[in-house]
Structure 1
Amino acid sequence: MSETVQQAYEIAKKQYAALGVNTDEVIQKMDEVVISLHCWQTDDVGGFETPDASLSGGGIQATGNYPGKATSLAEMRADLEKSLSLLPGKHRLNLHAIYGDFGGELVDRDQIELKHFQSWIDWCKKMGIGMDFNATCFSHPRAADGFTLSSKNEDNRKFWVEHVKRCRAISAEIGKQLGTPCVHNTWIPDGSKDVPIDRNGHRALLKKSLDEAMAVDYPKEHMKDAVESKLFGIGAESMTVGSHDFYLGYAIQNNKLICLDMGHFHPTEQVGDKISSCLQFVDEVLLHVSRPVRWDSDHVVTLNEEVQMIASEVIRNNFLKRVNIGLDFFDASINRIGAYVIGTRAAKKAFLFALLEPTSMLKEMEEAGQNFERLAMLEELKTKPFGAVWDYYCQQSQVPVGEQYITEIQQYEKDVLSKRGFN
């Protein structure tokens, strides 16, 4: 154990204790902050359906061509294992349906089965982590016209309904085998590039499709359903069928999780402000922590005010057991493992910072109308020795402290990623 880290932590511990915060208890509480790592950061949302699988259409776009992209299950798992080795605390895997173990066989999405994901379940068992799952309703010929579950082409609509049905069944088995509920998230890119006439028709079809796809109830200890809205997407600038209003209503009516993605709202909207509103009416929410830059651009998460507000809202209201935390970004312009580690560490830091807040003291000030005092204390907290507690937490978790992870990722790039070249 580094003596310098220990000494800095003891100083920080005393400063936070003066505010009524026990840093040892905070570090133990961090075990409850479980983040689901999105597999698609390793390969730019390509998947393994075909040997040359690549992103196409559906309102999603990864930018950049940094060398070293994962092009196989083995490479992806190696990258995930390296990333997990550099992260403090507990985590999960978040997998899209296009990442099945298809063994070189072309399996269309309405034909996927548990066997195509059993090796992922076994890998999660080996790693000692839980797993979440997503239907992949994009980048497919049957999504080429911009519609999936809300398609007026009945053959296409039924195809996507069957896909979601199968994904939910797979998710339930994932949760059963791993002993922790699998969150299955449904997001579709459906929408119109220009002004549509029949918005209602598509939304009625989406509701019908969701009702059909989710007709089977699975035990919540095995699987939880989430539905994810979006403001707009590429090719869906004028109307998105699955809007926030639509899915929030559907989630409330059908007791589903509402997924709040940080990039799926107007730039001036604060996702953190939506958490306590939604949790008045639904049992749980799913968060997709990202960093939109002017739009849903899925930049690598950094420790900014938006992420901090989300973490603070969750911690201040004791919502950890009702909030499922996932990441959703894909940056192909920098080292992909580096992107993973920066983003996940940033999200974890936000929750640690929130746990170090003397919430009871701040609430008392607020209730007493001491708004000056409240604001002053919030400002002073920004320069408390939070970094010393973070370093100690990393050291206790036996992962690199501070900037040490940079060197490890550089070495991994030299030893592994550089040998893959450009894809």
Structure 2
Amino acid sequence: MTVKERYEAAKEIYRAVGVDTDAALEALKNIPVSMHCWQGDDVIGFDGAGALSGGIQATGNYPGRAGTPEELMADMDEALSLIPGKHRINLHASYAVFEEGEWADRDKLEPKHFAKWVEFAKERSLGIDFNPTLFSHAKAENATLSSEVLEIRKFWIDHVKACIRISEYFAKELGTPCTMNIWIPDGFKDIPADRTAPRARLKDSLDQILSIDYDKSSVFVAVESKVFGIGMESCTVGSHEFYMNYASKNDILCLLDSGHYHPTEVVSDKISSMLLFFDKVALHVTRPVRWDSDHVVLFDDETREIAKEIIRGGADRVLLALDFFDASINRISAWVVGMRNMQKALLNALLLPNGKMAELQNNRQFTELMMLSEEMKTYPLGDVWDYFCQQNGAPVKEAWFEEVKRYEVDVLAKRS
């Protein structure tokens, strides 16, 4: 059977339980996933940092890491050519592209330093999301926005303000809002004597940042928590409770990273609660293993549950991005696997009889709900996914990996 024939057969199977596969594919095509640039070069960037720091690590030394803006853009192009659907890209401030002989420290960054990224995005009809980079810098060795040193705090306040201006530039040039997410590595290795003072300094810093006049309809400022990092195992200043309350009080977004919570917490359970109190919520989908995130997104239980909550809560209310950086495998393959898995999870959610399942729950028909939930797991999702790939010019099934292998031999292996 051809891909189309398998799809038509699957379409009838789903129709029997009240699911319109054509509508599901149209919806999926219009759900953007923001692909993070930092998977391509192990979060090194181009502003001279040279090494990753701030309580995070990219482990492995697989050959072919992108070392220049041109190489990174080429690698992102290669990955995007193998992923169906609509996309965005997600940049860190450390990926500024300077002209020869030019350089600016992070507090002096300007829109012009990202002009090449705008050119790249325009040519490919991509939106851009953005992140201030408050790590991998000499002034981030101890603390940033919560630092006891006024000069250090001011440097990072000015950096984030500059990033808001750059985010406005992205939104204006590309005609789509930019999500600008703030994450800081501030915290303590051992039990602190005073948790309040550093959090008060962080609050003051954020207040100063948000005091600038900016277009809130084009820049969605978000804050991202983390339970701990290397060197800050006992306390992170920017905890979930701090940021959730700060975001609510100041009408900005709270970003949930699925690798930034205690191992028994799941982000899928938080989304519905957040959407009752926030107009939108931002997500970084990743895969935590033991102590942190940063692993390639799989088509696993939690990814599928996150996707269900996105679809049921309203995909237009969830700003969806991925966040992992695995240097132990082919970096382009990592992007493609993660992005395609996120899309498969969204498709899986779109192909569920969600109305029927909610009705069963409301009527407390839990036996039938369990039965239906389990039976849907073996419905022909793969046949619908293959058709989506084919219709959107992306390779079907594992055929994409042949292109990754070719690119590795022809391009990646030749890099120093």
Using the size of structure 2 for normalisation, the TM-score is 0.98
- Aligned identity (percent) is 54
The aligned residue for residue 334 of structure 1 is 329
Partner of 2:144: 148
Residue in 1 aligned with 2:255? 259
Name the counterpart of 2:187. 191
Partner of 2:244: 248
**Paired residues of 2:43 and 2:52 also in contact (CA < 8 A):** no
- State the shift of 1:369 in Å: 1.6
**CA positional deviation for 1:217:** 3.6
Q: CA separation in 2, counterparts of 1:385 and 1:394? A: 15
Residue of structure 1 aligned with 2:374, choices 374, 379, 382: 379
Deviations 1:326-345 (A, max 9, x none): 00000000000000000000
Partner of 1:113: 110
Q: TM-score, normalised by structure 1?
A: 0.97
- Unaligned 5+ segments in structure 2 are none
Give 1:370 deviation, angstroms. Answer: 1.0
**RMSD, aligned CA:** 1.0
- Give the residue type in structure 1 aligned to 2:6: A
Partner residue, 2:124: 127
Aligned to 1:309: 305
Instruction: Tell me how far apart the structure 1 counterparts of residues 397 and 291 of structure 2 sit (CA, whole Å).
Output: 31
Q: What SS class does the counterpart of residue 2 from structure 2 fall into?
A: helix
Secondary structure, aligned partner of 1:279: helix
Aligned twin of 2:173: 177
Of the candidates 26, 32, 57, which is equivalent to residue 34 of structure 1?
32
- Structure 1, unaligned runs of 5 or more: none
In structure 1, distance between residues paired with 2:9 and 2:26: 19
* In structure 2, C-alpha distance between the alignment counterparts of 1:280 and 1:403, rounded to whole Å: 39
Q: Structure 1: which 4+ aligned runs deviate by more than 6 Å? A: none
Q: What is aligned with 1:101?
A: 97
What residue in structure 1 maps to residue 22 of structure 2? 24
Which amino acid in 1 is paired with 2:93?
A: A
CA contact (8 A) 1:257 1:282 kept: yes
1:397-416, aligned counterparts within 5 Å?
Answer: 397-416=392-411
Query: For the residues of structure 2 that align with 1:206 and 1:95, how far apart are their CA atoms?
Result: 23
Deviation at 1:220, TM superposition (A): 3.1
**Would the aligned equivalents of 2:243 and 2:254 in 1 still touch at CA under 8 Å?**
yes
State whether residues 178 and 219 of structure 2, in contact with CA within 8 Å, keep that contact through their aligned partners in structure 1: yes
1:87 to 60, 83, 105: 83
SS in 1 for 2:319: strand
Q: Give CA deviations for 1:194-231 in whole Å, capped at 9, x if unaligned.
A: 11112100000000000101112422332110000010
Q: Deviations over 1:371-408 (max 9, x none)?
A: 01000000000000000000000000011000001101
* Structure 2 match to 1:278: 274
C-alpha distance in structure 2 between counterparts of 1:106 and 1:172, whole Å = 21
Task: Give the residue type in structure 2 aligned to 1:100.
Answer: A
Q: Deviations over 1:122-151 (max 9, x none)?
A: 110011110001000001111112x10000
SS at match of 1:292: strand
Q: Is the aligned partner of 1:290 residue 2:286?
A: yes
Q: Which residue of 1 aligns with 2:50?
A: 54
Structure 1 residue 60: deviation in Å?
A: 1.2
Secondary structure of the equivalent of 2:289?
coil
* Cα distance in 2, alignment partners of residues 330 and 133 from structure 1: 17
Residue 351 (structure 1) aligns with: 346
Alpha-carbon shift at residue 57 of structure 1 (Å):
2.2
Question: CA offset at residue 270 of structure 1?
Answer: 1.1
Map of 2:135 onto structure 1: 138
Aligned equivalents of 1:56, 1:369: Cα separation in 2: 51
Q: For 1:110 and 1:384, how far apart are their aligned partners in 2? A: 53
Q: Residue 316 of structure 2 aligns with which residue?
A: 321
Quick one: distance in 2 between partners of 1:405 and 1:17? 30
Contact 1:45 1:54 in 2 (8 A): no
Matches of 1:365 and 1:284, distance apart in 2: 28
For the residues of structure 1 that align with 2:4 and 2:328, how far apart are their CA atoms?
37
The reply to whether residue 391 of structure 1 matches residue 386 of structure 2 is yes
Contact 1:44 1:55 in 2 (8 A): no
Query: Which residue is 1:369 aligned to?
Result: 364
Given that residues 260 and 293 in structure 2 are in contact (C-alpha distance below 8 angstroms), is that contact kept between their aligned partners in structure 1? no
| Structure 1 contact 32–320 (Cα < 8 Å) conserved | no
Aligned length: 415
Report if the CA contact (8 A) 1:173-1:222 is conserved.
Answer: no
The 2-side partners of 1:366 and 1:283 are apart by: 25
Does the 8 Å CA contact 1:191/1:239 hold for their aligned counterparts?
A: yes
- The counterpart of 2:265, out of the listed 260, 266, 269, is 269
Residue-by-residue CA offset, 1:159-199 (whole Å, 9 max, x unaligned): 00000000011101110111000000000000000111121
Distance 2:338 2:231 in 1: 28
Equivalent position SS for 2:294 = coil
CA distance in 2, matches of 1:8, 1:31: 20
User: In 2, Cα distance between the equivalents of 1:414 and 1:217?
Assistant: 49
- CA distance in 2 between counterparts of 1:368 and 1:222 reads 42
